[in-house]
Amino acid sequence: MAHRSRGRGAGLSGRTTGRLREGFRMPARRERWPGKKAGVRKPEYRLALRQADQAREDFAILLDELDFLKLQLSRLPTRAWFSRMWLIGLASVWALLAVIVLLLVR
């Protein structure tokens, strides 16, 4: 009788685990935060009023800068604008060539 490992997927039968493992990797069990077993609490981050006020000001400054960047990006030319300008330029060149040909024919 073959020895079964108690690694990943140990809760399932050996044959099923082997078939499933070939297709994809199964997690062994739900991963937990390591502090739960040790009885350690998650650290709390409490800010003093000055620190909270400073963070609020910094956040407002970042939002203003983000609005400025959005405004700058909205002013960039689009693909439609470039294609329109290209067509206008092409039409202008053909019009100039037609004028030159008409002048040379006379």
- What is the pLDDT tens value at each position of the chain, 106 positions in all? 455 555 554 555 555 555 555 555 555 555 555 555 556 666 677 778 888 888 889 999 999 999 999 999 988 999 999 999 999 999 999 999 999 999 999 8
> Residue 92 to residues 27, 57, 64, 100: CA-CA distances in angstroms?
66, 53, 43, 12
Q: Are residues 49 and 39 in the same domain?
A: no
Local structure of 75: helix, strand or coil: coil
Q: Is residue 3 part of a domain?
A: no
Q: Are residues 87 and 103 in the same domain?
A: yes
* The residue to which tokens 């297709």 are assigned: 23
Owning domain of residue 89:
78-106
Q: Is residue 104 part of a domain?
A: yes
Q: Are residues 101 and 84 in the same domain?
A: yes
Q: Are residues 67 and 54 in the same domain?
A: yes
Q: Are residues 19 and 36 in the same domain?
A: yes
Q: Is residue 1 part of a domain?
A: no
Overall number of domains in the chain: 3
The predicted pLDDT at position 98 comes to 96
Q: Is residue 56 part of a domain?
A: yes
